[in-house]
Amino acid sequence: LNKADVARQLLTGCATSPAKTRGEAFAPSNIALCKYWGKRDDDLNLPMTSSVSISLGDLGTRTALSMAEGADTVTLNGEVLARDSTFALGVSRFLDLVRPHRAAGFRVETVNSIPTAAGLASSASGFAALALALDDLFGWRLDPKRLSILARLGSGSAARSVLKGFVEWRAGDSPDGMDSFAEALPERWPDFRIGLLTVSSRPKAVGSREAMRRTRETSALYHVWPAIVERDLALIKEAVSARDFDRLGRTAESNALNMHATSLGAWPPVLFWLPESVALMHRIWALREDGPAVYFTMDAGPNIKLLFLAAETAVVKSLFPEVHIIAPFG
């Protein structure tokens, strides 16, 4: 089974020609509170474990799509991309899954509202918006489950970006991944805040795909990761449902540190942190000793994402003047 097979299966009975001249969609970026770390299928982006994220409101990707004979053209924030750029190649490869015939081309206009240099991955919102825009263009009206699976074929964490608020992506266990899709949790938490602290927006020395692979294959610590996720996933869902922010923050921070720890155990070792990342961590821990419930999470990179409630906004701003604060529920 490869991506093309799964896409064919997923879109059985769906129209192969556009229902309108222009499809359009927005998908939010998302930050995992319980991380997706390690694939059970590299091609289908099937995860070893389930994960939980929070979608970032109106920070994300807006994509408009139309068809035209010939090669695809991809623009990003108004700029036409070279056909051999990583982003354009990734988009075209994804569009191959739904391309009605060989000569069919797409015009893809992508606008990211993620602040440049925020160090947020744009692949999650990017592929989610692309999947949603395809659905709009072809008039498929796929259910959320199928949209999530389609987005996942572009990038694992895109499975979560087709939804808003708190989102759980269930790992599933079928080889075709038809049971591996995201669902929204019912809770809204308007006071929930995320603070982006950007240490570096340079490309990472080791990409997440390679880091995941190396960790899964060489780190003995990774053997415990599925058990850690099982524990943390339950704690996070309980904490969200009980509005227990301390438990949520503690669990999310611990989950991120455990994820980074598994990579340290790989060989060659993978350390995403820069000196500034460690300086920030020590500052957050020192702050917490003084009382304020400010926690953090980190993805496969050096940047820090603070987790706090609206009441701590002033404290956070005064201690981290460079912070970019997001209110995921608007």
Tell me how far, at minimum, the Cβ of 318 lies from a copy of itself, in Å: 22
The nearer residue to a copy of itself, 173 or 246, going by C-beta atoms, is: 246
Q: What burial class does residue 57 get, using C-beta atoms within 10 Å of its C-beta: 0-12 exposed, 13-18 middle, 19+ buried?
A: middle
Exposure pattern of 291-317 as b/e (b: 16+ CB <10 Å)? ebbbbbbbbbbbbbbbbbbeebbebbe
| HSE (side-chain half, CA atoms, 13 Å) at 45 | 26
Give the CA angle between residues 56, 128, 68 to the nearest 5°.
Answer: 135
The nearer residue to a copy of itself, 207 or 269, going by C-beta atoms, is: 269
Measure the N-to-C terminal CA separation of the chain; round to a whole number of Å: 41
The nearer residue to a copy of itself, 93 or 267, going by C-beta atoms, is: 267
Tell me how far, at minimum, the Cβ of 202 lies from a copy of itself, in Å: 13
Residue 180: C-alpha distances to residues 10, 49, 58, 123, 160 (Å): 13, 10, 25, 18, 11
Tell me how far, at minimum, the Cβ of 46 lies from a copy of itself, in Å: 24
- The pair of three-digit structure tokens given for residue 254, joined into one six-digit string: 């611990």
- The pair of three-digit structure tokens given for residue 166, joined into one six-digit string: 């708190």
The nearer residue to a copy of itself, 47 or 249, going by C-beta atoms, is: 249
Work out the number of other CB atoms within 10 angstroms of the CB of residue 2: 10
The nearer residue to a copy of itself, 22 or 247, going by C-beta atoms, is: 247
User: What residues line the site for a copy of itself (CB under 8 A)?
Assistant: 220-221, 223-224, 227-228, 231, 250, 253-254, 257-258, 260-262, 264-265, 267-269, 271, 273-279, 281-282, 285
SS3 state of residue 199: coil
Tell me how far, at minimum, the Cβ of 185 lies from a copy of itself, in Å: 24
Tell me how far, at minimum, the Cβ of 227 lies from a copy of itself, in Å: 6
Tell me how far, at minimum, the Cβ of 320 lies from a copy of itself, in Å: 16
CB 137 within 8 A of CB 107: no
The nearer residue to a copy of itself, 100 or 207, going by C-beta atoms, is: 207
Tell me how far, at minimum, the Cβ of 247 lies from a copy of itself, in Å: 11
What is the rounded distance in angstroms from the CA atom of residue 315 to the CA atom of residue 256? 23
The nearer residue to a copy of itself, 111 or 264, going by C-beta atoms, is: 264
Q: How big is the chain, counted in residues?
A: 330
Tell me how far, at minimum, the Cβ of 309 lies from a copy of itself, in Å: 20
The nearer residue to a copy of itself, 205 or 310, going by C-beta atoms, is: 205
Give the rounded distance of the alpha carbon of 58 from its chain centre.
14
What is the rounded distance in angstroms from the CA atom of residue 241 to the CA atom of residue 238? 5
The nearer residue to a copy of itself, 194 or 256, going by C-beta atoms, is: 256
Cα-Cα-Cα-Cα torsion 39, 50, 63, 120, nearest 10 degrees, comes to: -80
Tell me how far, at minimum, the Cβ of 45 lies from a copy of itself, in Å: 26
